[in-house]
Amino acid sequence: MNSKNKNIFDYSKIKSAKDLEEIVSSIFCSEDLDKEQKKYKILGRNGLIQEFFDNFSYIQNILNIERSDLGIILNRIKSEYTEKLKDEIQDTRNNTNNTFDPTLEYKNQLIGGKHPLSVEVSKINEIMISLGFSEEEYPTLVTDFENFESINIPKEHPARDMWDTFWIDEKHLLKTQTTAFQNSILSRELKKGNDFKPIRAFTTDVCLRNEATDTRHEICFYQTEALYVEHNNSVNMVILLNLIRSVFSLYFDNSNIKVKTRPAFFPFVEPGIEVACECIFCGGKGCNTCSQSGWIEMGGAGLVHRNVFMNADESLKDKYSEYSGLAFGFGFDRMVLLKNKINDIRYFRNKDINIDLFKNTVK
Ligand code: DAH
């Protein structure tokens, strides 16, 4: 007998061609096997029919029939079961009792939309572009140098406490502020020397902070940051305040929006200011969302600090005053919150789709 024989059954019990068919049929009718297993066992490369062919002469001897007759019998069994197993598979595909209909119309269901924050990010980006700024993409994972040292927050400086974050290792962290993008743009552009072209750059990106959350604070939020630099002394607070007013009136679609600024310390600007908008929930009277102040803080701004220039290009040591610049950084989620009268910043990243903002965007 052929050594390839895989199915150990008693060939001596095979008396006629019918017995061959019965062996195959017993596998086909087995309730312990599914279609694929039956197909494998009967028609597979090491299956029963192949085994009969491998032991052709042996079986021919037992049955005592002509070679050609056995060939006809085996080929008939083979095509019969090829057909049967094929039919079985087709049967389940055409099964009319199957309740799943992939063509079923999908009615009255909410379909996905862009996340409201993504929709709003596109709007603020368009506004910045319309004001002549170009978008700079910047990674979320940054170095200590980009996020702190280059923008005048040396190691151990107490100002670092304002931006506690998630550290990946001693050198790398998740960006706490979009201000981290300033150094790379400045060093790229300032090094052009006489070919320097005025900088009008912005980024809107995710920042992360290790923060106790409340109605206005989240650990993850967007910021929109702008950097505007000239190779002369022309940049001043008037330009900055006008720019801030333009951005707010365009984004809120309201040229009468009340914006308040007051002096504030940010290590990367001198002077620095804090920017707030009137609280729309109480009309400036004071409520829970604005901590009874009547104003909601949007972020900071100021004129670029000389150390920021010098950290970008050491050769500027005696020449940094040839340049002047301004920058602002706004918590963009807060702007979206105010515009859409959402009274808790945490809604943006939870699963409640019933707030108006979500209804507006889910069609
Ligand atoms: N990076 C500051 C923050 O996250 C915001 C800020 C303040 C950005 C003043 C600026 C600026 O560009 O000039 O709190």
At 304-362, the pLDDT tens digits run 999 999 999 988 888 888 999 999 999 999 999 888 888 788 888 877 666 555 554 43
Is 274 in a helix, a strand, or coil? strand
CA–CA separation, 61 and 52 (whole Å): 13
For residue 300, the domain's CATH number is 3.30.930.10
The beta strand positions in 88-156, using DSSP E, are: 134-135, 141-143
By residue range, what is the domain housing residue 47?
11-93
Report whether residue 266 contacts ligand 1, using a CB cutoff of 6 Å.
yes
Q: What's the pLDDT score for residue 360?
A: 45
Instruction: Dump pLDDT digits (tens) for 208-221.
Output: 998 888 888 899 99
Residues 6+ apart with CB under 8 A from 159: 153, 265, 267
Residue nearest to atom 4 of ligand 1 (CA): 177
The sign of the torsion formed by the CA atoms of 358, 361, 362, 363 equals positive
81 with 130, same domain?
no
In the numeric block, which tokens belong to residue 278? 């009137």
Helix (H, G, I), strand (E, B) or coil at 297: strand
- Examine the pLDDT at 1 and tell me if it is beyond 80: no
Which pLDDT belongs to residue 236?
A: 98
Confidence class of residue 106 from pLDDT cuts 50, 70 and 90?
Answer: low
- Minimum-distance ligand 1 atom for the alpha carbon of 227: 12
Any domain includes 237? yes
Task: Give yes or no: residues 247 and 213 share one domain.
Answer: yes
Q: Does residue 279 fall inside a structural domain?
A: yes
- Domain stops at, among 32, 62, 93: 93
> 3-class DSSP state for residue 306?
helix
Does the pTM of the predicted model rise above 0.75?
A: no
Q: Among the atoms of ligand 1, which is closest to the Cα of residue 302?
A: 13
Does one domain contain both 296 and 345? yes
Q: Are residues 124 and 233 in the same domain?
A: yes
28 and 156 in a single domain? The answer is: no
Q: Can you tell me whether residue 65 is helix, strand or coil?
A: coil
Residue 284: pLDDT above 80? yes
Q: Binning pLDDT at 50, 70 and 90, where does residue 363 land?
A: very low
Residue 227 confidence (pLDDT): 98
How many domains does the chain fold into? 2
State mean pLDDT over 128-153. 96
81 shares its domain with 131: no
pLDDT of 109 reads: 67
* Rounded average pLDDT over 44-53: 88
Position 93 scores a pLDDT of 56
For residues 328 and 225, is the Cβ–Cβ distance under 8 A?
yes
Is it true that the peptide bond before 158 is cis, omega within 30 degrees of 0? no
Answer yes or no: do 270 and 351 share one domain: yes
Beta bridge partners of 167: 173
- Domain for residue 102, yes or no? no
Q: pLDDT at residue 72 above 70?
A: yes
Best residue among 177, 261, 303 to mutate for probing ligand 1, ranked by most atoms within 8 Å of CB: 177
Average pLDDT of the residues of the chain: 87
pLDDT at 2 over 70: no
Question: Do residues 86 and 42 touch, judged by C-beta distance below 8 A?
Answer: no
Q: Record the tokens describing residue 292, joined without a space.
A: 């009874």
The answer to whether residue 282 sits within a structural domain is: yes
Query: Based on the domain organization, do 138 and 225 belong to the same domain?
Result: yes
Tell me, using a 6 A CB cutoff, whether residue 328 lines ligand 1: yes
Same domain for 234 and 173, yes or no, is yes
Q: How far apart are CA 141 and CA 88, in angstroms?
A: 56
Residue 100 domain flag? no
3-state SS, residue 186: helix
Going from the Cα of 242 to the center of ligand 1, the distance in angstroms, rounded, reads 17
